[in-house]
Amino acid sequence: MTASPQHDNTNEIFDREGLSERLVNDGDLVAEVIETFLRDIPHCFAQLEEAIAGGDWAEALRESHSIKGAAANVGANLLRHAALSMERALRGGDRLEVTAALEGMKQRFHELRRQMEKGGF
Amino acid sequence: MENPGFLNSPLDLAGNRTARGKALVVDDESTSLLVLKSLLEKQGFFAIPARNGEEAVAVFEREAPDIVFVDIVMPGISGYETVRRIKTLAGDRFVPAIFLTGLTEEHSLAKCIEAGGDDFLTKPVSVVLLQAKIAAAERIAHLYRTVQRQHHQLLFEQELAKQVYAKTVQANRADPGEIYSLQRSASVFSGDLLLAGRSPSGALHVLIGDFTGHGLAAAIGALPAAEVFRGMTGKGFTAAEILTEINRKLRALLPTGMFLAAVFVSLSQDGRSVRIWNSGLPDVFILDRDTGRVKNRLSSCSVPLGILPSLGPMDLSLFEVNSGDQVVVITDGIVEALDSKGELFGEGRVMACLESGGSETVFSRLVAGLEEFTAGASQEDDITLAVIPCRAERPWLLPVDSFSLVESHEAVAEEEVQAVPDLDSEKFDWQWEVELGFAVLRRIDAVPLLVDTVVDLQDLQEHRQFLFTILSELLNNALDHGLLDLDSRIKDSPEGFVRYFQERQERLARLREGYILVGFAVKTEDDHGRLHIRVEDSGPGFDFENWTPAFNDGPVYSGRGIGLVQGLCESLHYEGMGNIARAVYLW
């Protein structure tokens, strides 16, 4: 088996092709993964926001890390970068940067959801 | 190579064994969990998900998966701790643990390995990489199983070898209590050797050896050495002959670079003299029973056994000892034992222990001294210590006990009084005569060979020791007095004993003429029989008609003498000029 070229277009909101390739072009599985993602991530966002509001930086870091991993797995490249910015902001400890990063993440997720749903399933 | 897969492949729903086994996937985030679980199923695994570390540990205990994928960052116990616990639970079983990391977290790889992780996989998970990592893990698992199987096989074979070793080497001891010994090996097998046995003459033979290295490789040479020692000691061969044979055998068998440093101690039956050979071991000490001091010591005088084709002239050092003196032999492992600070025990401490006096025995003092010194340190080399007390053994071989034997034989003799038969005139079951020329006499002690042959021809195994004693007395008399013209009265003083043997050695080396003729003939009747022995030497003989053998003929230094032969035989006569001895042994 030859390696597929790695799709890592950092400007892509949703790399559907890359995801499909990683899931060996199993359309049902792609749909299931997207569905799981869209159902699960809002919970993660809710917990992230709660942690930030409560000043629990460690918990916030863990949540943004989870979102980053999930985003990587589904090919949500811009959300992954936004989550990474959040991790840096949390480590820096600057509340303004954290608030800005949270807005960025929400924005990216909003766009992502639109694109994912556009693909239809 | 076939894909080795994992051992523990469970049944799938259709009842078929899934090809590759069970995989445990641990991630708190649903999407990642789903992606990896699905991909593993596509690879033929039965994948079991877990949402956190605690759950993973519980699933691991219940399902015993073959491979584990663990996310590092999780609520509750971390991925590192999860793997640590799983690895502990797995024990001897190799379960590959693969960490799931983000692309930016590679700096934590060291921590993954430290926690017992075997590999890592970055998110997003690529199928190609996943397949490669699984294949690598399966290969390691396969290797691990092979090593384990071979390890078990090795243990089994070691156990087998241990039993053979114990039978051959360790069953070879003299009676307990004859020597005090300590043996400690650095591994399952000792490269040190301690053999002891009684010669038919009653002499105590002790061989202490140290093979190069330790463990099984070192112990392998112990088997042939022990066989030679046991066989030849039992047949009455001398220390020199036994050492020569062990050297020959080890040289033929052992690979280059492997040899045996050894000390051979041969304590005479009367406990009055000891012959020692030291080839490559630390000094041998003889402790005086009265002063408690070292009165003699013998350094190595030869290269170890198994190196040179021949050991050259084998003159064992002869020491006069008193009953109660002790011969102390140690191997390198004692002198070079280390304490917890890495300091050597050394010869100085050995001497100090030996001469420190007190109510404890020499053996106990040395053992205690060594134990105190090495407390808390690990043992690097095999250790052997042997303390041989000098004393007379085998009371039945001593003149005083031979009376009882005489009585029983006399009773038979009275019933069947008969003339001494001429070897040529009577019909015998078999006859055998051999002429030993001076060249042979100079080179070997023929007694063991002669006894061996006679014992085998007539199946007289139970009589070996008696025959050995009779023949060695008759032959030694023929050689010492007939051919070498030695005066046994030299032996009548304590100093004379050593002088006698030195003189004997010198005269034997100069021997250029003469022979000893030895004849055997056997006649059997029902369940008993007679062995006729005729020993003739080419010497001038002696005035036997005016000579009366006595059982207790003066000082013990002149040995058991001919009186013992008379005691063991039905009859003993001298003929000719006194240069022919005829003995009849009845069984």
pLDDT per position as a tens digit, A28-82: 999 999 999 999 999 999 999 999 999 999 999 999 999 999 999 899 999 999 9
Cβ contact, residue pair A66, B102, below 8 Å: no
Q: Residue B112 — very low, low, confident or very high, per pLDDT cuts 50/70/90?
A: confident
The pLDDT of residue A108: 94
Chain A nearest CA to B223, separation (Å) = 57
pLDDT at A54: 93
- Binned at pLDDT 50, 70 and 90, residue B546 comes out as low
Of the pLDDT bands very low, low, confident and very high (cuts 50, 70, 90), residue B173 is low
Instruction: Write down the pLDDT at residue B13.
Output: 47
For the cut 50, the answer to whether the pLDDT of residue B360 exceeds it is yes
Query: Of the candidates A4, A39, A70, which has its C-beta nearest B32's C-beta?
Result: A70
* CB neighbour list of residue B489: distance below 8 Å, 6 or more residues apart: B558
d(Cα B483, Cα B476) in Å, to the nearest integer? Answer: 10
Residue B482 is classified by DSSP as I
How close A33 comes to chain B (CA, Å)? 6
pLDDT tens digit sequence for B313-347: 788 999 999 888 999 999 988 999 988 888 899 98
- pLDDT category, B120, cuts 50, 70, 90? confident
How are the residues of chain A apportioned to helix, strand and coil, as percentages rounded to the nearest 5?
A: 75, 0, 25
Q: How many CB pairs under 8 A join A and B?
A: 75
Numbered residues of chain A with Cβ closer than 8 Å to any chain B Cβ:
1, 3-4, 6, 18-19, 22-24, 26, 29, 32-33, 36-37, 39-41, 44, 62, 65-70, 72-75, 84
Cβ distance A1 to B100 less than 8 Å, yes or no, reads no
In this complex, the residue of B31, B100, B128 whose CB is nearest that of residue A37 is B31
**Across residues B264-279, what is the average pLDDT?**
92
pLDDT digits (tens, 9 = 90+) for B50-78: 999 999 999 999 999 999 999 988 888 99
pLDDT at residue B146 tops 80: yes
Q: Looking at CA atoms only, how far is residue B1 from chain A in angstroms? A: 18
B29, B31, B69: best mutation site toward chain A, by most A Cβ within 10 Å? B31
For residue B272, the model assigns a pLDDT of: 87
B369-412 pLDDT, tens digit per residue, is 998 898 878 887 888 888 998 987 654 443 333 333 333 333 33
From the list B42, B102, B127, the residue facing A72 with the nearest CB is B102
Average pLDDT over residues B424-439: 80
Answer with the residue of higher pLDDT: A8 or B407.
A8
Phi-psi region of B280 (alpha: psi -120 to 50; beta: other; left: phi over 0): left
| Residue A103: its H or E element | helix A95-118
- B104 band by pLDDT with thresholds 50, 70 and 90: low
ipTM over 0.95 threshold: no
Lowest mean pLDDT, pick from B163-172, B247-256, B448-457, B469-478: B163-172
3-state secondary structure of B397: helix
In this complex, do B30 and A36 lie within 8 Å of one another by their Cβ atoms?
yes
pLDDT of residue B419: 38
Residue B548, pLDDT score: 53
**Which chain A residues contact residue B27 at CB under 8 A?**
69
Least Cα separation, residue A40 to chain B (angstroms): 7
The arithmetic mean of pLDDT across residues B19-44, rounded, is: 91
Amino acid code (one letter) for B422:
D
Q: Helix (H, G, I), strand (E, B), or coil: what is residue B296? A: strand
Task: List the one residue out of B517, B538, B534, B536 whose CA is nearest residue B436.
Answer: B517
- Nearest to B260, CA basis, from B315, B164, B182, B195: B195
Q: Is 70 exceeded by the pLDDT of residue B12?
A: no
Whether the per-residue pLDDT at A4 is higher than 50: the answer is no
Nearest CA in chain B to A24: B127
CB B52 within 8 Å of CB B26: yes
Give the per-residue pLDDT at B485. Answer: 87
- Taking CA–CA distances from A75, the nearest residue in chain B reads B124
Asked if the Cβ–Cβ distance from B128 to A3 is below 8 Å, we say yes
State residue B409's pLDDT score.
Answer: 35
Model confidence at B476: pLDDT above 60: yes
Searching chain B, which residue's CA lies closest to the CA of residue A4?
A: B128
Concatenated DSSP letters for B133-147? HHHHHHHHHHHHHHH
Measured between beta carbons, the chain A residues lying within 8 angstroms of B131 are 1
The confidence band for B531, taking pLDDT boundaries of 50, 70 and 90, is: very high
Q: Which of B95-104, B212-221, B493-502, B556-565 has the lowest mean pLDDT?
A: B556-565
